Structure 1
Amino acid sequence: MIALQQRTIVHFDLDCFFVSVECLQDDSLRGKPLLIGGSSDRAVVSACSYEARKFGIHSAMPMKTALRLCPHAIVRSGDIERYSEKSREVTAVIADQAPLYEKSSIDEFYLDISGMDKFFGSLKWTTELRKKIIKESGLPISFGLASNKLVSKVATDEAKPNGQLEIHFGEEKSFLAPLAVEKIPMVGRETGAQLRRRGVETVKTLSEVPISLLEAWMGKNGIALWKKANGIDESPVVPYYEQKSISTENTFPADTIDIALLHAELVRMTEKIAFELRQQNKLTGCITVKIRYSDFQTVTKQATIPYSCSDHVLLEKVKDLFQKLYDRRLLVRLIGVRFSHLVQGNYQINLFDDSQEMIALYQAIDHIKNRFGWQYLMKGTNVTPPERKMYNR
């Protein structure tokens, strides 16, 4: 068997990110039970402070329930634009220092610093980077340093709040062994309950279950779970600049100046790729709109936005960009929409002012689109008469 090359992977995680940004703006909030989300009875908790968690509060909980558990909690509506700005600020610091990094979500990063020991010492270099991030952003951040992404992420969780932890090569299994099975990424509440019913409560016990038995219990997920329990993770750090964009463009069968038609097509395209974003559990931080006129001149306009994958947020910006871009009043041959600056995340993080019904609506819409196809559920304004249909590319 050929031994895998030893790697050095860092996982950075901004602690209670939304809460920390709010505390940075208002120092009086520190040390208090703080809830981020809408203030109405139908709103949900998007994030909460460690102090609030002591009362049993967690994200996605109905705000009404959270306030019953902790009546004296402070509620802030949240500001995804400010959170996005702080995320980009931290990204800039990491990008300036790290040889290879992956932005896995709005507040998480993986760094591959393999070989750094020859020059600086991995722990020393990472510690200094953490101090730099804290100094320049004002935000608390934790890190785990290990031989792969899985163990580094678990180490970060164990180092929180605002701490750091190194797991030396060869110590992965002994580090994971005493932890509860729920500490393993991909083991949610349902999977954890299923394992516990079978007497599997710790990672050590999980690692000792025959892989064939885990596969029988959970299919292919059982094999992946066995590898994680044994500290095995070969997944690479994907360079952030290589994160793919999601785009679509449509060429008209005949050049047009029909504004209503153009707007309807923008809605259709935006809904299509926003659904793709949610399918991939991603958010976009940049939107580009493209127009090609009948004379083949092509123009584009883009804007950086607060991270989102919600139709109503993205549609508003797409329409705004189109209005600013379409100023020649010429016949249009092609239009396109592209989402870039992608990070992992879900739509709940920017529904600070929305209700449980809004979240349920998105989930129901995506369920129908998953089952029947994205084109079977669209906004009424997007229904195009047969004679106006276009060629998709």
Structure 2
Amino acid sequence: MQRIILHIDMDYFFAQIEERENPQFKGKPVVVGADPKGGRGRGVVSTANYEARKYGIKSGMPISKAYQLCPNAIFLPVNIELYEKVSKEIMEIVKKYSPIYEVVSLDEAYLDISFCRRWEKAETHGRKLKREIFEKEKLTCTVGIGPNKTVAKLAAEKAKPNGLKVVKPEEVEKFLDPLDIDDLPGIGPKTAEKLRKIGINKIFELKKLSKEKLKEMFGKIGERIWERARGIDEEPVSPEEVIKSIGRQITFERDTRDAKLIFGIFERLIKEVYEELMQNNFSFKTITVICRFKNFETHTKSKTLKKPTQDFEIFKKEAKKLLLKFLIENKKPVRLIGVRISNLS
């Protein structure tokens, strides 16, 4: 049986919920994230609606920059309890449409709908799902349908907002080739920058590189990039919610070099991460520390242990050593710190 995978992605989720709860916001630029404090705020944009995006505001942007672009936007704090409640209600609807589902975030999920057998039936199934979510939650979403997770996700990306796109197996190459390289899942800003330096900007150009060359440039991930550029993705839709990493980060109110303040907050982050680790009864192997300096210069350092552990003292000691290296190597004031554990088992 051929695989048919559906990817559902809620449109500008946090901001759309705020519009639903506050109809007076409709048609106005809405930004959910940190407090802009008149352009002096710290932190970033979580979500912006399409009105705000017209001004160039997007997720992950410094909130101060968003304020400069559109000071008249409606800036709202993140109401995570509300968003989680709405997400739960939406995912209960989603799960009715296939026994094989994978929730990947508050606003995204994959469904294996191979039982539809025909692409026309799959499209009808997707439209029915969109309609039920809108009728019950008054929220729009976008659906992408393809022969695997990568193609389904990209189809959804290209159909936003409030759209539905089907890419059949025989259409995959024509669909992928003209896309930008950083559209491809697995290619982040640094990987894209390396590729652009050698004149690779589009997926059809990326396909000219051999698997060996990509492995030489990027290691193991190079093989995955080679496959995804060709629309190959055998990863199954996994019903179990797999926690791949646990992390916390914080942006300081002011850039600082105060070691007592930095390490005091860092220890709190370590404790919070460790508590979540214990709640899920995981062990970890890799510790990663993130440090963002003034002017948004961001670096990460990692340490992988020889074997998995749940030892809090090892976690704390190794994480603090990594942070100390940052502070010794770079004398700039610190804007953000974070810690993450991965390779969980």
TM-score, normalised relative to structure 2:
0.72
Report the residue type matching 1:35 in the other structure.
V
Q: Rg bigger for which structure?
A: 1
TM alignment of 1:348-359, pairs within 5 A: none
Structure 1 pair 169–311 and aligned structure 2 pair: CA distance change class (3 A): farther
Residue 117 of structure 1 pairs with residue 113 of structure 2? no
* Aligned equivalents of 1:208, 1:89: Cα separation in 2: 45
* Aligned equivalents of 1:118, 1:57: Cα separation in 2: 40
Contact 1:369 1:376 in 2 (8 A): no
Report the residue type matching 2:70 in the other structure.
C
1:63 CA displacement = 1.5
Alignment equivalent of 1:29, drawn from 13, 19, 25: 25
> Tell me, what secondary structure is at the counterpart of 2:279?
strand
1:368 CA displacement = 7.4
Point out where structure 1 has 5 or more consecutive residues left out of the alignment.
Answer: 247-275, 282-309, 319-335, 341-355, 380-393
The residue number in structure 2 matching 1:201 is 201
Point out where structure 2 has 5 or more consecutive residues left out of the alignment.
Answer: 250-266, 282-291, 306-312, 321-345
Structure 1 pair 373–115 and aligned structure 2 pair: CA distance change class (3 A): same
> Tell me, what secondary structure is at the counterpart of 1:43?
coil
The residue number in structure 2 matching 1:171 is 171
Alignment equivalent of 1:278, drawn from 241, 247, 251: 247
> Tell me, what secondary structure is at the counterpart of 2:207?
helix
> Tell me, what secondary structure is at the counterpart of 1:190?
helix
1:179 CA displacement = 0.9
TM-score, normalised relative to structure 1:
0.63
1:102 CA displacement = 0.5
Structure 1 pair 24–311 and aligned structure 2 pair: CA distance change class (3 A): farther
Report the residue type matching 2:241 in the other structure.
Q
1:118 CA displacement = 6.4
Contact 1:245 1:339 in 2 (8 A): no
Contact 1:7 1:112 in 2 (8 A): yes
Residue 338 of structure 1 pairs with residue 271 of structure 2? no
Residue 243 of structure 1 pairs with residue 241 of structure 2? yes
The residue number in structure 1 matching 2:263 is none
* Aligned equivalents of 2:65, 2:115: Cα separation in 1: 50
* Aligned equivalents of 2:242, 2:280: Cα separation in 1: 9
Contact 1:100 1:111 in 2 (8 A): yes
Measured against aligned partners, the alpha-carbon deviations of 1:56-75 in whole angstroms (never above 9, x if no partner) come to 22222221221111121110
> Tell me, what secondary structure is at the counterpart of 2:114?
coil
Alignment equivalent of 1:375, drawn from 316, 323, 330: 316
Residue 69 of structure 1 pairs with residue 10 of structure 2? no
1:370 CA displacement = 6.6
Residue 81 of structure 1 pairs with residue 50 of structure 2? no
Contact 1:369 1:375 in 2 (8 A): no
Aligned length, in residue pairs = 278
Structure 1 pair 187–31 and aligned structure 2 pair: CA distance change class (3 A): farther
CA RMSD in angstroms, aligned pairs only: 3.4
1:154 CA displacement = 0.3
Higher relative contact order (CA 8 A, sep 6+): 1
Contact 1:35 1:48 in 2 (8 A): yes
> Tell me, what secondary structure is at the counterpart of 1:208?
coil
> Tell me, what secondary structure is at the counterpart of 1:121?
helix
* Aligned equivalents of 2:195, 2:119: Cα separation in 1: 44
> Tell me, what secondary structure is at the counterpart of 1:56?
coil
* Aligned equivalents of 1:144, 1:186: Cα separation in 2: 18
1:167 CA displacement = 0.5
* Aligned equivalents of 1:339, 1:29: Cα separation in 2: 39
Report the residue type matching 1:150 in the other structure.
T
TM alignment of 1:87-236, pairs within 5 A: 87-117=87-117, 121-236=121-236
